[in-house]
Structure 1
Amino acid sequence: MNGFLAYSLGLGMTDELLSLFQDDMLFSEQIPNEHYGDDVNGEPEYVDTAEFVMPGKVALDRMRILGYQVNEPRIALDDAIKGKLRTSKRLRLELAGDPEVEGELDAEIELLTGLTAEKWLDRVVEYGLPVGRLERREDAASHGSWPYLELVSGWPVRAILTILLEAFPSAEVRLDLTEAVLNGEVWEDLDTLCSNALKRLRFFGGADAPVIVLTEGKMDAQALSDGISILYPHLVDVVKFMDYLQKPDGGAGPLVTFVKAFAAAGVANRVVAIFDNDAAAAEALLSLRVESLPSNIRILTYPYLELFSSYPTLGPPVGADEEAELVLANIHGRAASIELYLGRDVLAGDDGTLVPVQWKSYMHKVRRYQGEVVGKGDLQKRWKEKVAARRSSSSMIDGYDWDGIAKIIESIIGASVEERLTFDLYPQDPEKYWD
Structure 2
Amino acid sequence: EAVEHLGQFSVGRTASTGSVFGQRQHPYATLRILAENPANLGEDVVWDYGNFVDAGWAKNEDFIGNARRTQTYLIATEGTSDTHILKRGLALLRPDIEDFFRFIDIEERHPFSGTGNLSKFAEGLVKIDVHNRVVFLFDNDAEGVDTYKNLLKRFQFPVNMKAMVLPDLDELREFPAKGPCGVANADINGCAAAIECYLDLNLKGRPPAQVTWTNYKESLGIYQGALDFKDSYAKAFYETTQEDVESGVYDASKLRSVIAALLEECTGLAAAMLYSKS
- Under a length normalisation based on structure 2, what TM-score does the superposition of the two structures give? 0.68
1:398 matched to 2:248: yes
**Greater Rg, structure 1 or structure 2?**
1
The corresponding residue for 2:218 is 364
Shift of 1:227: 0.8
CA distance in 1, matches of 2:160, 2:112: 24
Amino acid at match of 1:276: D
Alignment of 1:96-111 (within 5 A): none
CA distance in 2, matches of 1:236, 1:221: 13
Write the deviation string for residues 288-335 of structure 1: whole angstroms up to 9, x where unpaired. 136611011111110121111100010124xxxxxxx11000001000
Aligned residues: 206
The corresponding residue for 1:169 is none
The corresponding residue for 2:178 is 314
1:340 matched to 2:190: no
SS of aligned partner of 1:414: helix
Shift of 1:349: 4.2
Amino acid at match of 1:255: L
Shift of 1:209: 2.8
Q: 1:239 aligns with which of 68, 77, 101?
A: 101
- The answer to whether the Cα contact below 8 Å between 2:133 and 2:161 also exists between their aligned partners in 1 is yes
Amino acid at match of 1:271: V
- The answer to whether the Cα contact below 8 Å between 2:148 and 2:163 also exists between their aligned partners in 1 is no
Distance 1:286 1:300, change over 3 A: closer
SS of aligned partner of 1:404: helix
Q: 1:302 aligns with which of 162, 166, 173?
A: 166
Amino acid at match of 2:199: L
Q: CA RMSD in A?
A: 2.4
What 5-or-longer segments of structure 1 have no aligned partner?
1-205, 318-324, 425-435
Alignment of 1:72-151 (within 5 A): none
The corresponding residue for 1:183 is none
The corresponding residue for 1:283 is 146
- Under a length normalisation based on structure 1, what TM-score does the superposition of the two structures give? 0.44
Most deviating of 271-280 and 250-259: 250-259
Distance 1:256 1:265, change over 3 A: same
The corresponding residue for 1:50 is none
The corresponding residue for 1:420 is 272
- The answer to whether the Cα contact below 8 Å between 1:309 and 1:332 also exists between their aligned partners in 2 is yes
CA distance in 2, matches of 1:374, 1:215: 21
1:411 matched to 2:261: yes
Q: 2:228 aligns with which of 374, 377, 402?
A: 374
CA distance in 2, matches of 1:297, 1:232: 22
- The answer to whether the Cα contact below 8 Å between 1:312 and 1:357 also exists between their aligned partners in 2 is yes
The corresponding residue for 1:160 is none
Shift of 1:363: 0.6
Amino acid at match of 2:76: L
Distance 1:400 1:295, change over 3 A: same
Amino acid at match of 1:310: E
SS of aligned partner of 2:261: helix
CA distance in 2, matches of 1:241, 1:278: 21
Shift of 1:394: 7.3
- The answer to whether the Cα contact below 8 Å between 2:148 and 2:165 also exists between their aligned partners in 1 is no
- The answer to whether the Cα contact below 8 Å between 1:279 and 1:333 also exists between their aligned partners in 2 is yes
Shift of 1:285: 2.6
Amino acid at match of 2:165: T
- The answer to whether the Cα contact below 8 Å between 1:209 and 1:269 also exists between their aligned partners in 2 is no
Bigger strand fraction: 2
Shift of 1:399: 2.8
CA distance in 2, matches of 1:207, 1:382: 32
The corresponding residue for 1:230 is 92
Aligned residues: percent identity?
27
CA distance in 1, matches of 2:69, 2:84: 25
Distance 1:238 1:373, change over 3 A: same
Amino acid at match of 2:147: A
CA distance in 1, matches of 2:265, 2:170: 21
